[in-house]
Amino acid sequence: MTQSERLRLDDQEELALLRQQLADYEAMFNSGQIMLWYKDLHNRHLRVNQAAAALDGLMPYQMEGKPCEEIYPKEQAEAFYKDDLEVINTGEAKLNIVEQHTPPGKDEACWLRVCKVPTRDARGNISGVLAFAVDISEQKKTELELAQSMALLDSVINGIYDPIFVKDEQHRFLVLNDTMCEMMKQSRSELLGKSDYEFFPKDQADIFWAHDDLVLDSNDVDINEEEFTRDGKTNTISTIKSSFSNPITGQRNLVGSIRDVTARKEAETELHQLRTYLANIIDSMPSIMIGVDKSGAVLQWNIEAARVTGIESSDAVGQPLESVFPRLAPDLKSVNKAISTQREVTESKRSYQHDGNTYFEDITIYPLTDKGEEGAVIRVDDVSERVHIEEMMIQSEKMLSVGGLAAGMAHEINNPLAGLMQTAKVLNNRLSLQNVPANQVAADDVGTDMATIHAFMEQRGIFRMLEAIDESGVRVAGIVDNMLSFARKSDATSSCHNVNDLLNKSIELSATDYDLKKEYDFKSIKIKKDYAQDLPLLPCEAVKLQQVFLNLFRNGAEAMHEAKVTQPTFTLHSHFDQEHDTVCIAIEDNGPGIDEEIRKRIFEPFFTTKPVGVGTGLGLSVSYFIITENHGGEMTVESELGKGARFCIRLPCDSNGEQP
């Protein structure tokens, strides 16, 4: 076989092979879903496979050899050619061109992904463009739906004012809404894929992660309030976290939403502070203040109420008033009256007994109405001290008016009294056996003698009668003198004395006084002395103070005697109250005591418990006057029936108490 024969034979074989390949290629070209076509340099279709032609509703032959413009509208044809020219001019493939394609005569566009590669001739020059295309309309449609739902999701989460985020298992941000980005003061791109540690101090991020883990590991919902500090400002945020399984990655993700509760927290704090402040105000009141509802159940109970009753606020609140404050049980009527009339109800100086003492209180009930909730506040003030002072002042006023009256009257009384007493005195002289020459002369004149006259007088009790006149006159003079003690003016000058000495002297004087006048013996009274030895010398009118002490001893002794006390005892106390620079004296007896009605009036002028004619009713009021007005001191009496009486005297060292 010659070279040419062998060549021919080769050519034939090669030809056959080529034919075969061409047939395969044709089959391949027309089979399948991939659209294929190629065009020359001038936008003319050279070959179009069936899939490509079918898209436009044509057969390949209807397109092959025809320029684009004949098949498609001019605009579309030019767009196609523009891509082709890019490939032709650059010689490089253009891949994945996604384009919308509307087949001629149809309304509905489809989406194609097109790849265009240059074709070359045998010499390597670019001869046209080969294009592959796949219909991606379905994919495009899905993508569009996805994009729409993503956009919807974005709109939704951005439309929510609260910050919202999604984290993956590694705590990295997957989704953040606009508010979240704002709160973090970062752009979304800076946040995505990062974790808390890149934005917060470690300790804060630790807490965030711990709560992340709580929900990532379970289906629980975690709500946590935490402090969140940014730019030096601390806000309180409430974060709600829950987890879900991400359908795409299959990972556990968590979704969190944050609410800034700073304002609410601040309002709570403010409310709490206000409540504490008000409670403090109410507690700082010296009054008892009790809030009650319409039924009388306690709502509010201040410290003073707790102090007085010994019942703590926590135990009292909710209880009926009468069970925690029995003394106020009768006031429930007033509570209802206050509520129904919307006016306060007050009661002044109501007295009550406690431990044998009488106390006074003012009760005020204020109605309260708050959004239909009716109730009242009961205020109780202890006014015992004030009532006491008022009593004293009334006493003092009475005495002063007696004093004023006495000063005016004394002269008018003293003159006739002088006429009476002095005349009785002369009368006595003239009737007695005294050496009065005129008596003798007169007796002689009428033919008798003084001895006879005297005997007659004696027998007829004339001297006793004259003595009665004199004694009565002395008593009247004494009353006038005592009344004059109430006048403010005092001529006596004060000097310094030890009160213990004055008490001792008064005891001695009392002893002699009683020895003479009474049938019982003052010396049988036991005297207990509880004297302080550090008493300063007290500037005072010694005689007047002794008058006071004598008076107290006399009254006490009489009271103990009348009550037939088996072992009558006086206990004398003295001590120095350094704080008030005051000497305090107490004289105690173990007599029958003084009942409350008498105690109240005991210092009143002319008030006496003794039978008419026995006492002047001035002793204690004069004493009181001497202590309070002349010495600027205080005099009080305490007593419990059957347990004796205790007179307390307080005398200031720095003032003699005399008023102009």
* Nearest distance in Å: CB 488, other proteins: 11
* CB nearer to other proteins: pick between 442 and 563: 442
Under rule CB under 8 A, residue 159 binds other proteins? no
Select from 46, 115, 299, 484 the one that contacts other proteins (CB under 8 A).
Answer: 484
Number of chain positions touching other proteins (CB under 8 A): 32
User: For helices 450-459 and 462-485, what crossing angle results, to 10°?
Assistant: 70
Under rule CB under 8 A, residue 488 binds other proteins? no
Tokens 């008058």, residue?
Answer: 547
Under rule CB under 8 A, residue 487 binds other proteins? yes
Considering only 175-183, 315-323, 435-443, 612-620, which stretch makes contact with other proteins by CB under 8 A? 435-443
Under rule CB under 8 A, residue 480 binds other proteins? yes
HEC string of 398-445 equals: HHHHHHHHHHHHHHHHHHHHHHHHHHHHHHHHHHCCCCCHHHHHHHHH
Under rule CB under 8 A, residue 247 binds other proteins? no
Closest CA to 200 of 211, 188, 208: 208
Under rule CB under 8 A, residue 477 binds other proteins? yes
Burial (CB count <10 Å: 0-12, 13-18, 19+), residue 566: exposed
Considering only 170-178, 258-266, 363-371, 434-442, which stretch makes contact with other proteins by CB under 8 A? 434-442
**172, 152 in Cβ contact below 8 A?**
no
What pairs with residue 526 in β-bridges? Answer: 569
Under rule CB under 8 A, residue 464 binds other proteins? no
Under rule CB under 8 A, residue 310 binds other proteins? no
Under rule CB under 8 A, residue 441 binds other proteins? no
- Number of C-beta neighbours around residue 348 at 10 A: 12
Under rule CB under 8 A, residue 660 binds other proteins? no
**240, 225 in Cβ contact below 8 A?**
no
Under rule CB under 8 A, residue 423 binds other proteins? yes
Residue type, 352: Y
* Nearest distance in Å: CB 486, other proteins: 11
Considering only 7-15, 125-133, 276-284, 433-441, which stretch makes contact with other proteins by CB under 8 A? 433-441
Tokens 């203040």, residue?
Answer: 289
Closest CA to 115 of 96, 135, 92, 140: 96
Residue type, 321: L
Residue type, 481: D
**38, 119 in Cβ contact below 8 A?**
yes
Select from 438, 441, 446, 516 the one that contacts other proteins (CB under 8 A).
Answer: 438
**559, 589 in Cβ contact below 8 A?**
yes
Select from 342, 422, 440, 524 the one that contacts other proteins (CB under 8 A).
Answer: 422
Instruction: Using alpha carbons, list the distances in angstroms from residue 238 to 73, 260, 396.
Output: 62, 6, 72
Select from 418, 455, 543, 641 the one that contacts other proteins (CB under 8 A).
Answer: 418
Tokens of 523: 């010396």
Binding mask 613-642 for other proteins (x = CB under 8 A): ------------------------------
Select from 426, 492, 537, 641 the one that contacts other proteins (CB under 8 A).
Answer: 426
* Nearest distance in Å: CB 600, other proteins: 30
Considering only 112-120, 197-205, 406-414, 446-454, which stretch makes contact with other proteins by CB under 8 A? 406-414
Under rule CB under 8 A, residue 470 binds other proteins? yes
Under rule CB under 8 A, residue 437 binds other proteins? yes
**DSSP state letters, 145-214:** HHHHHHHHHHHHHHHSSS-EEEE-TT--EEEE-HHHHHHHTS-HHHHTT--GGGTS-HHHHHHHHHHHHH
Considering only 199-207, 299-307, 425-433, 571-579, which stretch makes contact with other proteins by CB under 8 A? 425-433
* Nearest distance in Å: CB 424, other proteins: 9
Q: In the complex, which residues of this chain contact other proteins (CB under 8 A)?
A: 406-407, 410-411, 414-423, 425-426, 429-430, 436-439, 470, 473-474, 477, 480-481, 484, 487, 489, 491
